[in-house]
Structure 1
Amino acid sequence: MLNTRWWQPFVVVLVVLGGMYFAAPNLYPRASQDENNVVQNFVPFPFLPYQVNLGLDLQGGSYRLVRVDLEDARASYMEDVQRIGSSVLRDQGVALRATATDTSVRFQFRDEVAMLGAREILRQQFPSALFSDQGSSLTVTLGDDAFEVVKQETVQSVRDTIERRIDAFGLTEPSIRIQGQDRILIEVPGVSNIDAYLEKLALTIHIVKQAGVSRNPNETLFMMLEDSDRILGPGEQPTSYLIEREACVDGADIQGTGVGTEYGVVVTFTLNSRGSKDFATCTRNNVGERLAIVLDDKVISAPSVNEPITTGSVQISGGFSFEEARSLSTLLGTGSLAAEVESIEERVVGPGLGAESIRSGAIACIVAMALVLLFMTLAYGLLGLMANVALVFNLIMLLGMLSIFGATLTLPGIAGIVLTVGMAVDANVLVFERIREEARAGLDPSDSVASGYGAAFSTILDANLTTVFAAILLAAFGTGPIQGFAMTLTMGILTSMFTALLMTRLLINLWLDGVKPSKLPI
């Protein structure tokens, strides 16, 4: 009677070939960007460009722990109340003037009746805000409970914006995690400086009241800003502008960006429907005046309004080089940070240290593999050699699985691979010891193998399931390197179960069917 089922060779060969196919791209150089930021892929056809990503500790890169300025979040929320509230009320035909501070917004209306109607509209727009009125004025503030919600939303928004910025530049596998109430941990492999991704980049457009001023006559209504250094020539002194505090539009209204070079290098962007409407109203009411385009509290352009701009298309000519314009365009397209961030811990891991980690990890894997192969050969003879063949393919399939899922390999992940080697051998040891016991009890080779695998199966399954559950908990509650260890360990257990229970048994059964030995060499 044949020991090999008809379907076993097909399943094993199919899975092994699949593992080799997805592991093969890792033999080629990793994808990189050329001087034009075009991604170059070195994996040839017919392979898919799936490769294992290297973590910060293996590739080198930046580690940054930042703190989100939550008081700045309150001020940003008040600015949103002023901007959005003013826009909504004006759409309803309500005449008003709004002024904002870091903690409140004051709306001034023509009379008390207009104030009462506006209050109901604003309450629907900002249900968590607090409202107090006096005569024809209405003050909007933020209560403690509402501020807690704003803080959580702000930290999450900052984290998401940083991730979008890093992704927009094609940087692979950043790890960006919120820690505690106001901290964000950022790990970006392959990049030594991430300062540009942490700039707030608050872009706003204001009406210029007067240029060349030396003092601000009304801090509530106006603010004084100077030209950005980037637009000044050698020895040129910056101009001070008195501009209205209330912005016509801001970065939240930007929906598309680009770079133009027809008449010098400019950054172009288009506004969404709300921004286009506000900008059209602003320019229509201020023909002949100047606009101040402000980036991070510096004026980068101050063009004159020659006619109403109703298309929602804006150009910024700020003395940019092409690379600066492209970088600014990309960053503006991902949105402004909801609050300022402050670096409180920073480390740069050099690529040399990462290469040393890879070399040390590879040596550990090779030594572990060599010792295991030697032990299995000496302890179990021919059956041990079959297990060794399966063990080699186990690592190949593990590499293929990591590539398919785009996993990030870290130094703890390499430790997980080394542990997987031991786990794979453990299953074979259990099976072979049971086979040896059955053979000593007088069973023939075929019955000994069948009985050995049958008796050891439940033990192997229980042991591996227990480890998988532990790895799942590590992945769920751990962070960064711990998750990398848990992922490689889980995938390694799956591949080792396959090779130990299917592949090794297939090799043994094929040998039994072909040779028909009278005694097992074990």
Structure 2
Amino acid sequence: MLNKYPLWKNLLVIIVIAVAALYALPNLYGEEPAVQISASRNAELTPATLDTVRSTLQQENISAKSVALENNQILVRLKSDKDQLAAKDAIIDSLGDSYIVALNLAPATPSWLESIGASPMKLGLDLRGGVHFLMEVDMNEALEKIQNGMTDSLRSQFREERIRYTDISVDGRDIELTLRTVEDAQQARSFLDNRFQGYTLKNNDADSKQVILHMTEQKLKETRDYAISQNITIMRNRVNELGVAEPLIQRQGANRIVVELPGIQDTARAKEILGATATLEFRMVDTDNSVRDAINGRVPYGSQLLPMRDGPPQLLKDDIILTGDHIVNASVGYDEYNRPQVNISLDGVGGNKMSLATKDNVGKPMATVFIEYEATGTRDAEGNMQFKKNAEVINVATIQSRLSSQFRITGVGAQEAQNLALLLRAGALIAPIQIVEERTVGPSLGQENIDRGTQAIVWGFILVVLFMMAYYRKFGMVANLALFANVILIIGVMSMIPGATLTLPGMAGIVLTVGMAVDANVLIFERIREEIRAKRSPQQAIHHGYDSAFSTIADANVTTLIAALILFAVGNGPVKGFAITLAIGIVTSMFTAIVGTRAVINAVWGGKKIKKLSV
């Protein structure tokens, strides 16, 4: 009886390890500091922009390895971190606010490897670093949104209760209601008393036509907490859209959010998407009044004059049909003329609002308003960042029929359509945010700890190799070869998985799987020794040793794999980092310890008659 693998099995082992080694190869080249430049909505990257960047670097005596325009961005590769920071400041001064300039780490992978999609494994903030954003939430806008929602509710309920009013307005934490008569005011007080949790009646003058509804401190705190928590949720959605693995998104202080993106490659796009405050409003066009009169300063009550992106200003009614809050899905498509469009899907409430608004307005124009918030650089008395609201009409379309929860908007460029669809899918921010700090961060545990940890792994690996060689002799060398192949497989698979990030806990998972791979070979070799002691021939000992050890190895590894999958499903951050490397390592170690070592042993000893095994 001889032990031989068919040709296809030997080829399978060789091909799998060769492919893994090929995709693990970029990790040897490392990364280099870079500056990444992307165009904002109103700008465009052209060869002229590229020339401007090159001349700016030349004027500042900054030597760049390369400056290239590719994939709608300019990537400047530099020699040192010092040059990287200097280049970023110089480029920002040269290009102005029309471009997004961000620090990055660009892979130094050769072009021939990039051509087959090979890239280095991404490292977490605790190993290589990443991008850190500190964002400040506009609490004034959050409060205004809640108060405006409250006024809309009051108007509706007053109509139902037949309470007549002349004006309902917001003044900070107060909602001021002016009633038509004293009797209406008394009816309003009776209706409002203890009806709305978090609000109290501020004045109870029986002879006054004015009623003030005041937001309590508890309600104010809840409003701010809600703005922070909702913005964190939306940030997570946006990060998921970017495909970043193991992000850290958490609250800091009263009105700030920290976002850390480990191993991210496209930092400029991350900055653009995370910092964006874009949302949409849908309003009817005011066709009853003159746009010319509004341009000359005579804007009618109940309407607003807004600029249009590619056309004359538009006069719109103040009443908002719908906001981006009701959008549940958005995707990019193209019309019959190959122009980009954003296909919108609304939730049930939004669909009903759109249906009611368009039912009686068929044949009339409706405008899509694009809204962004821009930080002014000033703060109010409470220290909150002040924001300016910028609104422009991007599309005016005639309502052809009654709309529901599915429709589309046009008038946007291809890249803007992509970004707008992403933002609308992720959700509109409850309140605008401003990036107040941006930096690339180094290893959180310190370079010294990382070096020591790496040394511990290397020395542990060496000791295992020496032990296997000393105890199992030639078979131990085969196990060491499989161990080395296992590490290559893990690195190769981690490099091939999009978004996978290696962290320190992930390294612990690799070390654990190395031990498990050796354990599998120990079981096999001990079974072979038992078979030899039972007077079986060397070839029979090899055959029965592998067959009898397989079930034990499979049981141990499958149960560990189940535990790893559970950790990945319910864990987060470092726990997921540990779980993913553990799961990959279990699969690869079973392949190398069972299939790989047997292929080598069959090739060396299995095809000939031997009297003694070196095991």
Query: TM-score band, normalised by the shorter chain?
Result: 0.5 to 0.7
| Amino acid corresponding to residue 99 of structure 1 in structure 2 | S
- What is the correspondence of 1:42-81 to structure 2 with a 5 Å cutoff? 44-61=113-130, 75-80=144-149
1:24 aligns with 2:25: yes
- Residues 416-472 of structure 1 deviation map (CA, whole Å, 9 limit, x = unaligned): 112221111011011111111211221111111122122222221222223223323
* Contact 2:373 2:432 survives alignment (8 Å): no
Structure 1 pair 5/101, CA: closer, same or farther in 2 (3 Å)?
farther
Shift, 1:12, TM fit: 1.8
Structure 1 pair 17/314, CA: closer, same or farther in 2 (3 Å)?
closer
- Tell me what 2:601 maps to: 508
- Tell me what 2:260 maps to: 187
Of 73-82 and 453-462, more deviation after overlay is shown by: 73-82
> Can you give the 5+ residue segments of structure 2 that lack an aligned partner in the other structure?
40-69, 76-106, 157-164, 182-195, 199-209, 282-301, 303-317, 331-341, 345-349, 362-370, 376-385, 399-408, 413-418
Q: Where is the strand percentage greater, Structure 1 or Structure 2?
A: 2
* Contact 1:472 1:486 survives alignment (8 Å): yes
* Contact 2:142 2:431 survives alignment (8 Å): yes
- Tell me what 1:379 maps to: 471
Structure 1 pair 405/190, CA: closer, same or farther in 2 (3 Å)?
closer
Structure 1 pair 28/332, CA: closer, same or farther in 2 (3 Å)?
same
Shift, 1:81, TM fit: 6.3
- Tell me what 2:455 maps to: 363
Q: Structure 2: how far apart are the matches of 1:250 and 1:202?
A: 15
Q: Secondary structure at the match of 2:23?
A: helix
Structure 1 pair 203/3, CA: closer, same or farther in 2 (3 Å)?
closer
1:424 aligns with 2:496: no
1:3 aligns with 2:95: no
Q: Structure 1: how far apart are the matches of 2:479 and 2:372?
A: 70
Q: Structure 2: how far apart are the matches of 1:45 and 1:190?
A: 18
Structure 1 pair 299/389, CA: closer, same or farther in 2 (3 Å)?
closer
- Tell me what 1:175 maps to: 247
Structure 1 pair 85/519, CA: closer, same or farther in 2 (3 Å)?
farther
Shift, 1:354, TM fit: 6.2
Structure 1 pair 494/335, CA: closer, same or farther in 2 (3 Å)?
closer
Shift, 1:63, TM fit: 6.1
Shift, 1:403, TM fit: 1.7
> Can you give the 5+ residue segments of structure 1 that lack an aligned partner in the other structure?
88-94, 112-127, 131-136, 206-220, 222-245, 257-269, 282-291, 316-327
Counterpart selection for 1:435 from 488, 509, 528: 528
| TM-score using structure 1 length | 0.59
1:520 aligns with 2:601: no
- Residues 342-366 of structure 1 deviation map (CA, whole Å, 9 limit, x = unaligned): 99x9998436976555544433332
* Contact 1:204 1:293 survives alignment (8 Å): no
- Tell me what 2:496 maps to: 404
- Residues 6-50 of structure 1 deviation map (CA, whole Å, 9 limit, x = unaligned): 242133223223322332333344496544575667563542144
| Amino acid corresponding to residue 47 of structure 1 in structure 2 | I
Aligned-pair identity in percent equals 35
Q: Structure 1: how far apart are the matches of 2:453 and 2:484?
A: 17
1:337 aligns with 2:409: no
Shift, 1:493, TM fit: 1.0
Structure 1 pair 196/514, CA: closer, same or farther in 2 (3 Å)?
closer
Structure 1 pair 369/301, CA: closer, same or farther in 2 (3 Å)?
closer
Q: Structure 1: how far apart are the matches of 2:448 and 2:597?
A: 35
Q: Structure 2: how far apart are the matches of 1:9 and 1:331?
A: 46
Structure 1 pair 253/313, CA: closer, same or farther in 2 (3 Å)?
farther
Shift, 1:310, TM fit: 8.2
| Amino acid corresponding to residue 20 of structure 2 in structure 1 | G
Q: What count of residue pairs does the alignment treat as equivalent?
A: 426
1:497 aligns with 2:585: no
Shift, 1:508, TM fit: 1.1
Structure 1 pair 365/73, CA: closer, same or farther in 2 (3 Å)?
same
- Residues 195-222 of structure 1 deviation map (CA, whole Å, 9 limit, x = unaligned): 99877958999xxxxxxxxxxxxxxx9x
Q: State the superposition RMSD in angstroms.
A: 6.1
